């Protein structure tokens, strides 16, 4: 597979198997904190951290965990990791923590994390689980950023980012002149709307891929049938020729 | 604890600070279960029961165990374990007593554990500094608000199934559009108390 | 132990929990002190805003309302309460309120809120904040109409704090008292206020000598805040008495349901019978529209006074003459003096003057009662009873120990201002000055008009700089040939006065014989881009041309500091001319000296007056397009055919992040004055964004162009594009000078 193709497949993977837009998992935090790029990145990094580590730990202890208590075990692991992230965020990035608020703790109940532990990590090796966690975390972050980008630009007119440790602004670009922003995008309504439109776009994209695949399959089938018919014809002809020769 | 402040908590929990529309909590079951009215009511009741039970237990746990021991940082772990255990209990109970309800709620019953509303209410009672009575009131009001949304949504979505929406919006996306409109409608409740 | 046995499960879970618990307790031990420190730091920052430099200790409290989040005691200052409550926005808001030890409110500080602009958010803005700041712990908290929810929530919070504080300090009060709902914020509007920002326009429709009708316009809320239209009205005046007969609003442009409270018939009736200098109660909640109407009425009255019959002229003239004389030193504070009593030995006056709030935030004036010892003309006592400026800052200048310094003084200037509270200090001084002036005017005798008229001209000349003394203007003579004097001047604007920043700089040319301004060119702008630079705009600067007193030009609203800074520079240049006038005039008068002056002029080749002014005007226009980039230009070579310049000008980094300028080398074809080539030698803006505007294919678009604006900026890289354009434009402009200096080649043609 060429690099370009791999890139393409990574991207379509992100879209098609997107836990947020595709499977509707982890929506709560996606909607709630997607008001600025900073929040999105902070949340995304936290989720990636928890997801990768929980996947690794779960895959490590999966074999010694009896089935009946696997859920509590996973939950304890995840809750420990989340508490840890929460403490670190609160200590070193207080500003970010105060805007993410309760949603940091709610990473515990983010369906993506327990879902991946259950569906993937407990059945696969450490390396594969880590990679799966990273991929899932990245596509979650990607979705979060997509929503945040739209909401922040339309809602405040400014695209900005700041260093979460020092609160210093890294850049701020005013893209919409002041007075022309659409404040509703800062509100809950805006979150739902943005999400709906992006989800619809992903669905449409998915459908076009499916259609293409179906089309390709159909063509392949037709080609195969044609080839078969031709082969049969050829065989027939050959048979006839052989008969003739025999005769 | 006066009657008016209890009323404030109830109206606030159900209408003004509706968890689904203002805090986006419980979206997963919200989108999954709100397709049929009957399962919406069942889910709503189950969630209400779980939240009430687990929140009161968490409150007791926090103020009688964690706080005296000075291990508040174990809050998240203990709460989530408590909730998981409680859900397990409800699951067993429903399975035994109402197999049909169990069937229709399917996968979502164990997922109540990962319903953010449950954990959120348990923690919110602590962060807001509610006393036991307030905790009980809040733990009923919030899930009732959740259930209200489930029911309203289920009825709308039953109609939506027959509506002619663009291909790409079919299913969940249109439901989010509806949620957006509902959010606008519910802002009107702000300032009710 | 089998994997499925209960014991195994229990042990596994127990071990897991123990490991996790240990891990977390370790991390907790590590992060807890940092978290505590962070939280304290954020609280401290807010506390410091209320009691600067105070010491704070967190106090235990028992709050039945559950609204109070923290109580902080500051020994010697008071107690601060941090309060959270929910108003309109369901997330609620947090604010702090402080009670001084004597029970008065020591500060009201919003910490966080998401209330709606124009409604709930008004509860955190100046008018309402000032109202709260004027309360004590036993006063009821008033509500704000139009923002009932939010102000009710604030009221609840402050009530909770009051309950705690009063219980603590042993103050008894009536917790159920209800404040007069709108009384404290019904704005008092006086016709002597400055309504310049409403930009009133008046036009006479008819005037039969007894009744005059004017059609007027002035901006209200919409015009001032939303770039909307002005309100319009028809005003009928009674000419002989100079009073208002009727006001009819013909076009209402502000918010329906809010502003129109001020256009109701009953509200408009309040204007009837008023004359110039009177004041009127505005409609609370509709301050902007009330002001707009007052501005319209005032402009009609002014118009009548200016062009009306002699009957109307008289009262109009008396009033201003008295005022200008009285306030020569502090005219911007617009003092209003009213005599309460005067028994020949002691006179009591009520005075209002504007401080920080009035001058910068359209807020109210400060008010005081001043007692004067009449025979000696000295101050006996001052009591400031309405303080409208920022609590915790301006009130240093209303503290008793400061006010005491004025006692026995006959000139307020002899007392130093309170550092950090200059505005309020000036307001106080202005009160005293105006009272003393008033007294002097009375003592001087009955013929008030004549001596004062003389006085008005005198102070203007001698004390003219003092008008803008606070901007610390400096003027340096660049050239003075007796007809035109050129000065390089500096004076402080917003940045200098408030942020320890640099002064603004300008080049001012003055016509020596007439003492009038010939041109003003801002060469260095140090204030806030996008705000102050409104006052460096050519269209405004050009208003000074032909003016001999910068005060003839109105300040740019929203850019008062920079406006003053510019006026200060102009004033200082004018003063220089005046002081050097005789010296300069003497040589200029004698004929031979004109030739003697020539060698001096040759030093500056383009100094011959006529061409200079013309091409100055020209280049001023072009560079001004990009003047915010502050281009610095250096000529590397110029062989008459090709000129090479090395230039720096600010892009994104320089303008927004105090970073470096971009640098480039530009070649200009001299005869055609077109761009030959551009090379960016140093790029200081954001890589990947701004550098789109330094790419070769963008730069090559400028080749052969005479005007940098012929090429469109790169979208997404506007700042850097402008920086590049500024480099090019300034190079082209520079090339222009010698080209024009070859006078006859082009002119001859």
Q: What is the pLDDT of residues C286-335, one digit of tens each?
A: 777 887 888 888 888 888 777 544 333 333 333 333 333 334 456 667 77
Closest chain C residue by Cα to residue B13: C90
- Nearest CA to C282 out of C405, C158, C195, C401 is that of C195
Residue A44: which pLDDT band, with cuts at 50, 70 and 90? very high
- Nearest CA to C507 out of C491, C518, C527, C521 is that of C521
Mutate to test the interface with B, among C17, C62, C90 (most CBs of B within 10 A): C90
A225 to chain B, closest Cα gap in Å: 32
Whether the predicted pLDDT of C248 surpasses 70: yes
- Among B16, B17, B129, select the one facing C66 at the smallest CB separation: B129
> CA Rg, chain C, in Å?
32
The pLDDT of residue C63: 78
Mutate to test the interface with C, among A84, A102, A172, A180 (most CBs of C within 10 A): A84
Mutate to test the interface with A, among C12, C84, C228 (most CBs of A within 10 A): C12
The pLDDT of residue A1: 44
Q: What's the pLDDT tens digit per position in B77-136? A: 899 889 888 888 878 887 888 787 777 665 556 667 767 888 899 999 998 888 899 899
Using an 8 Å CB-CB cutoff, list chain A residues near B74: 83
How many Å from the N-terminal Cα to the C-terminal Cα in chain B? 17
CA B93, CA B50: separation in Å to the nearest integer?
12
Whether the predicted pLDDT of C618 surpasses 50: no
- Nearest CA to C491 out of C578, C571, C574 is that of C571
Mutate to test the interface with A, among C19, C20, C684 (most CBs of A within 10 A): C20
Q: Domain segments of chain B: what residues?
A: 22-191
Contact C290, C264 (CB under 8 A): no
Work out whether the CA dihedral A86, A90, A93, A96 comes out positive or negative: positive
Please answer yes or no on whether B77 and C20 come within 8 Å at the CB atom. Answer: yes
The pLDDT of residue C184: 42
| Burial of C340 per CB tally in 10 Å (0-12, 13-18, 19+) | exposed
Mutate to test the interface with A, among C10, C13, C88 (most CBs of A within 10 A): C13
Ranges A133-147, A155-169, C480-494, C658-672, most confident: A133-147
C90 to chain B, closest Cα gap in Å: 6
User: Which residue do the tokens 């500024």 mark?
Assistant: C726
B193 to chain C, closest Cα gap in Å: 9
Instruction: Give me the phi and psi of C213, to 5 degrees please.
Output: -115, 130
CA C638, CA C742: separation in Å to the nearest integer?
14
How many other CB atoms are found less than 10 A from the CB of residue B95?
Answer: 13
**Helix H or strand E encompassing C518:** strand C516-524
Contact B115, A109 (CB under 8 A): yes
C225 to chain A, closest Cα gap in Å: 10
Per-residue buried b or exposed e for C484-519, using 16+ beta carbons within 10 Å of the residue's own CB: bbbbbbbbbbbbbbeeeeebbbbbbbbbbeeebbbb
Encoding tokens for residue A38? 């900073």
Provide, rounded to the nearest whole percent, the portion of chain C with pLDDT above 70. Answer: 79
Contact C678, C702 (CB under 8 A): yes
Encoding tokens for residue B6? 């209890």
Q: What's the pLDDT tens digit per position in C99-153? A: 888 888 888 888 877 777 777 787 887 778 888 888 887 788 888 877 777 888 8
Please answer yes or no on whether A189 and B118 come within 8 Å at the CB atom. Answer: no
CA A141, CA A145: separation in Å to the nearest integer?
6
- Nearest CA to C250 out of C263, C270, C230, C234 is that of C234
Ranges A43-47, C277-281, C559-563, most confident: A43-47
Chain C residues in contact with chain B using a Cβ-Cβ cutoff of 8 Å: 17, 20-21, 24-25, 28, 66, 87-90, 149
The residue-averaged pLDDT of A84-93 equals 90
Partners of C504 in the β-ladder = C491
The pLDDT of residue C90: 63
**Helix H or strand E encompassing C214:** strand C211-218
Whether the predicted pLDDT of B185 surpasses 70: yes
A224 touches chain C (CB under 8 A): no
Instruction: Give me the phi and psi of A20, to 5 degrees please.
Output: -85, -60
The residue-averaged pLDDT of C159-163 equals 85
The answer for residues whose C-beta is within 8 angstroms of residue A56's C-beta and 6 or more apart is A121, A126, A129, A130, A133
Helices (H) and strands (E) in chain C, counts: 20, 23
- Nearest CA to A62 out of A2, A116, A138 is that of A116
Q: What's the pLDDT tens digit per position in A119-144? A: 888 888 889 999 989 988 998 998 89
CA C531, CA C650: separation in Å to the nearest integer?
18
Q: What's the pLDDT tens digit per position in B153-182? A: 888 888 888 888 888 888 888 888 998 998
A77 touches chain C (CB under 8 A): yes
**Helix H or strand E encompassing C573:** helix C560-589
**Which residue did the predictor score with more confidence, C255 or C85?**
C85
CA C116, CA C112: separation in Å to the nearest integer?
13
**Helix H or strand E encompassing C509:** strand C504-511
- Among B23, B84, B123, select the one facing A72 at the smallest CB separation: B84
- Nearest CA to B136 out of C684, B144, C642 is that of B144
CA C287, CA C131: separation in Å to the nearest integer?
15
The pLDDT of residue A80: 92
User: Which residue do the tokens 């004018």 mark?
Assistant: C574
CA C393, CA C356: separation in Å to the nearest integer?
10
Instruction: Give me the phi and psi of C199, to 5 degrees please.
Output: 45, 65
The residue-averaged pLDDT of C347-367 equals 77
Please answer yes or no on whether C12 and A92 come within 8 Å at the CB atom. Answer: no
Helices (H) and strands (E) in chain A, counts: 8, 2
Helices (H) and strands (E) in chain B, counts: 10, 0
- Nearest CA to A104 out of A130, A133, A142, A78 is that of A78
| H helix intervals, C658-717 | 696-699
C432-to-C380, C396, C426, C427 alpha-carbon distances in Å: 11, 17, 10, 9
What is the strand order of the sheet C336-342 is part of?
A: C336-342, C346-353, C366-373, C378-386
The pLDDT of residue B138: 93
Residue A247: which pLDDT band, with cuts at 50, 70 and 90? low
Using an 8 Å CB-CB cutoff, list chain B residues near A82: 76
Using an 8 Å CB-CB cutoff, list chain C residues near B84: none
Contact C258, C283 (CB under 8 A): no
B51 to chain C, closest Cα gap in Å: 22
B79 to chain A, closest Cα gap in Å: 10
Please answer yes or no on whether A73 and C24 come within 8 Å at the CB atom. Answer: no
The residue-averaged pLDDT of C435-455 equals 53
C658 touches chain A (CB under 8 A): no
The pLDDT of residue C416: 77
Using an 8 Å CB-CB cutoff, list chain A residues near B123: 102, 105
What is the four-CA torsion angle of C695, C698, C700, C703, rounded to 10 degrees? -140
Contact C370, C431 (CB under 8 A): yes
Using an 8 Å CB-CB cutoff, list chain C residues near A180: none
The pLDDT of residue A5: 56
Q: What's the pLDDT tens digit per position in A5-42? A: 555 666 666 677 777 887 777 788 888 888 888 889 99
Arithmetic mean of pLDDT over chain B: 84
Closest chain C residue by Cα to residue B74: C21
CA C219, CA C22: separation in Å to the nearest integer?
67
- Nearest CA to B146 out of B28, B5, B3 is that of B28
Please answer yes or no on whether C90 and B17 come within 8 Å at the CB atom. Answer: yes
A64 touches chain C (CB under 8 A): yes
Contact B142, B51 (CB under 8 A): yes
Count of pairs with CB atoms under 8 A, one residue in A, one in C: 56
The pLDDT of residue C610: 40
A114 to chain B, closest Cα gap in Å: 8
A23 to chain C, closest Cα gap in Å: 30
Per-residue buried b or exposed e for A25-43, using 16+ beta carbons within 10 Å of the residue's own CB: bbbbbbbbbbbbbbbbbbb
User: Which residue do the tokens 């929910």 mark?
Assistant: C86
CA C379, CA C381: separation in Å to the nearest integer?
6
Please answer yes or no on whether B177 and A192 come within 8 Å at the CB atom. Answer: yes
Arithmetic mean of pLDDT over chain A: 84
DSSP single-letter state for residue B64: I
Please answer yes or no on whether A94 and C39 come within 8 Å at the CB atom. Answer: yes
Using an 8 Å CB-CB cutoff, list chain B residues near C17: 77
**Helix H or strand E encompassing C78:** strand C78-85
Contact B66, B74 (CB under 8 A): yes
User: Residue A217, SS3?
Assistant: helix
Neighbours of chain B (3+ CB pairs under 8 A): A, C
CA C128, CA C124: separation in Å to the nearest integer?
7
Using an 8 Å CB-CB cutoff, list chain B residues near A200: 166, 168-169, 173
User: Which residue do the tokens 């410091």 mark?
Assistant: C48
CA C74, CA C47: separation in Å to the nearest integer?
9
Contact C19, A60 (CB under 8 A): no
Contact A164, A97 (CB under 8 A): no
> CA Rg, chain B, in Å?
17
A5 touches chain C (CB under 8 A): no
Q: Taking CA B112 as the corner, what is the angle to CA B108 and CA B113, rounded to the nearest 5 degrees?
A: 130
Contact C345, C353 (CB under 8 A): no
Please answer yes or no on whether C21 and B190 come within 8 Å at the CB atom. Answer: no
pTM of the model: 0.49
CA A139, CA A153: separation in Å to the nearest integer?
21
Closest chain A residue by Cα to residue C20: A80
Residue C579: which pLDDT band, with cuts at 50, 70 and 90? low
């Amino acid at each position: 597979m060429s690099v370009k193709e791999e890139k393409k497949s990574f991207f379509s993977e992100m879209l098609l198997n997107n836990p947020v837009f595709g499977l509707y998992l982890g929506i709560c935090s996606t909607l709630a904190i997607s008001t600025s790029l900073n929040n999105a990145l902070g949340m995304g990094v936290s989720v990636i951290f928890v997801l990768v580590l929980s996947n690794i730990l779960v895959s490590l202890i999966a074999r010694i965990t009896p089935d009946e208590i696997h859920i509590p075990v996973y939950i304890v692991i995840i809750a420990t990791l989340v508490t840890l992230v929460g403490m670190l965020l609160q200590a070193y990035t207080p500003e970010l923590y105060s805007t993410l608020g309760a949603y940091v703790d709610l990473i515990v109940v983010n369906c993506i994390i327990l879902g991946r532990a259950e569906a993937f990590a407990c059945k696969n090796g450490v390396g594969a689980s880590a990679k799966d966690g990273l991929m899932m975390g990245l596509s979650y972050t990607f979705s979060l950023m997509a929503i945040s980008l739209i909401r922040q630009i339309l809602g405040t007119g400014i695209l900005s980012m700041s260093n979460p440790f020092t609160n210093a602004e890294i850049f701020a670009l005013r893209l919409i002149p002041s007075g022309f922003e659409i404040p509703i995008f800062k509100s809950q309504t805006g979150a739902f709307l943005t999400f709906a439109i992006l989800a619809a776009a992903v669905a449409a994209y998915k459908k076009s891929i499916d259609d293409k695949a179906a089309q390709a399959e159909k063509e392949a089938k037709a080609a195969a049938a044609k080839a078969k018919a031709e082969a049969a014809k050829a065989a027939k002809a050959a048979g006839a020729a052989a008969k003739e020769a025999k005769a | 604890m006066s009657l008016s402040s209890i009323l404030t908590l109830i109206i606030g929990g159900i209408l003004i600070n509706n968890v689904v529309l203002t805090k986006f909590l419980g979206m997963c079951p919200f989108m999954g279960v709100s397709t049929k009215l009957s399962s919406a009511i069942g889910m709503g009741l189950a969630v209400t029961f779980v939240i009430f039970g687990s929140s009161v237990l968490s409150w007791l746990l926090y103020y009688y165990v964690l706080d005296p021991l000075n291990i508040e940082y174990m809050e998240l772990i203990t709460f989530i374990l408590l909730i998981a255990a409680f859900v397990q209990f409800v699951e067993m109970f429903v399975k035994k007593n109402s197999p049909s309800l169990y069937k229709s709620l399917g996968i979502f019953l164990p997922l109540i554990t990962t319903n953010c509303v449950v954990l959120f209410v348990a923690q919110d009672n602590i962060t807001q500094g509610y006393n036991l009575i307030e905790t009980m009131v809040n733990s009923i009001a919030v899930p009732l608000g959740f259930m209200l949304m489930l029911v309203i949504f289920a009825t709308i979505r039953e109609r939506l199934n027959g509506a002619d929406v663009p291909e790409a919006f079919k299913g969940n996306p249109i439901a989010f559009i509806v949620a957006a409109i509902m959010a606008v409608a519910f802002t009107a409740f702000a300032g009710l108390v | 132990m089998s994997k499925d046995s209960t014991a195994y499960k229990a042990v596994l879970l127990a071990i897991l929990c123990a490991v996790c618990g240990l891990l977390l307790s370790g991390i907790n031990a590590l992060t807890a002190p940092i978290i505590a420190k962070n939280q304290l730091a954020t609280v401290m920052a807010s506390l410091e805003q209320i009691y600067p430099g105070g010491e704070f200790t967190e106090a235990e409290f028992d709050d039945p309302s559950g609204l109070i989040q923290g109580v902080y005691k500051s020994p010697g200052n008071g107690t601060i309460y941090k309060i959270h409550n929910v108003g309109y926005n369901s997330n609620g808001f947090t604010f702090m309120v402080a009670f001084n030890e004597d029970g008065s409110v020591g500060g009201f500080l919003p910490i966080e809120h998401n209330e709606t602009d124009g409604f709930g958010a008004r509860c955190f803005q100046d008018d309402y904040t000032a109202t709260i700041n004027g309360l004590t712990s036993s006063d009821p908290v008033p509500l704000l109409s139009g923002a009932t929810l939010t102000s009710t929530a604030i009221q609840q919070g402050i009530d909770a704090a009051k309950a705690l504080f009063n219980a603590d300090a042993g103050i008894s009060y009536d917790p159920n008292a209800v404040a007069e709902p709108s009384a404290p914020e019904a704005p008092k509007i006086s016709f002597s206020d400055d309504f310049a920002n409403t930009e009133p326009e008046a036009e006479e429709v008819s005037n039969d000598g007894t009744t005059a009708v004017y059609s007027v316009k002035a901006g209200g809320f919409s015009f001032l805040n939303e770039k909307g239209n002005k309100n319009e009205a028809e005003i009928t005046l009674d000419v002989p008495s100079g009073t208002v007969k009727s006001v009819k609003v013909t076009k209402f442009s502000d918010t329906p349901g809010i502003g129109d409270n001020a256009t109701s018939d009953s509200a408009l009736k309040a204007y009837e019978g008023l004359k110039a200098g009177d004041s009127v109660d505005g409609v609370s909640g509709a301050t902007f529209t009330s002001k707009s109407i007052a501005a319209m009425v005032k402009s009609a009255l002014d118009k009548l006074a200016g062009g009306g019959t002699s009957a109307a002229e008289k009262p109009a003239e008396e009033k201003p003459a008295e005022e200008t004389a009285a306030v020569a030193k502090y005219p911007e504070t617009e003092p209003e003096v009213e005599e309460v009593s005067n028994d020949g030995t002691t006179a009591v006056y009520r005075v209002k003057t504007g401080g920080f709030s009035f001058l910068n935030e359209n807020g109210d004036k400060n008010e005081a009662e001043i007692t004067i010892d009449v025979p000696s003309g000295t101050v006996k006592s001052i009591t400031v009873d309405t303080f409208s400026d920022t609590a915790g800052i301006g009130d240093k200048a209303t503290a008793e120990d400061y006010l005491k310094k004025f006692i026995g003084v006959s000139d307020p200037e002899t007392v130093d201002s309170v550092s950090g509270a200059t505005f309020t200090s000036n307001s106080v001084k202005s009160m005293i000055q105006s009272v003393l002036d008033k007294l002097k005017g009375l003592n001087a005798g009955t013929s008030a008009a004549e001596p004062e008229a003389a006085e008005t001209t005198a102070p203007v000349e001698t004390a003219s700089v003092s008008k803008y003394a606070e901007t610390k203007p400096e003027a340096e003579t660049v050239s003075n040939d007796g007809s035109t004097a050129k000065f390089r001047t500096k004076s402080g604007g917003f940045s200098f006065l408030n942020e320890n920043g640099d002064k603004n700089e300008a080049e001012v040319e003055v016509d020596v014989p007439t003492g009038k301004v010939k041109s003003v060119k801002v060469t260095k702008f140090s204030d806030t881009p996008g705000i102050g630079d409104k006052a460096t705009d050519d269209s405004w600067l050009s208003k000074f041309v032909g003016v001999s007193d910068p005060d003839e030009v109105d300040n740019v609203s929203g850019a008062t500091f920079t406006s003053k800074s510019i006026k200060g520079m102009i004033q200082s240049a004018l003063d220089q001319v005046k002081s050097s006038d005789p010296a300069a005039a003497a040589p200029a008068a004698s004929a031979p000296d004109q030739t003697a002056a020539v060698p001096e002029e040759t030093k500056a080749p383009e100094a011959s007056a006529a061409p200079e002014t013309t091409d100055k005007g020209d280049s001023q226009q072009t560079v001004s397009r990009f003047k915010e980039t502050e281009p610095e230009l250096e000529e590397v070579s110029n062989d008459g055919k090709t000129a090479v310049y090395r230039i720096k000008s600010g892009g994104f980094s320089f303008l927004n992040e105090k970073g470096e300028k971009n640098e480039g080398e530009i070649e200009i074809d001299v005869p055609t004055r077109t761009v030959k080539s551009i090379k960016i030698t140093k790029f200081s803006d954001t890589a990947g964004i701004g550098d789109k505007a330094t790419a070769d294919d963008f730069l090559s678009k400028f080749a052969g162009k005479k005007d940098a604006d012929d090429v469109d900026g790169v979208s997404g890289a506007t700042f850097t594009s402008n920086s590049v354009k500024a480099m090019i434009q300034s190079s082209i402009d520079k090339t222009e000078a010698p080209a024009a200096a070859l006078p006859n080649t082009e002119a001859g043609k």
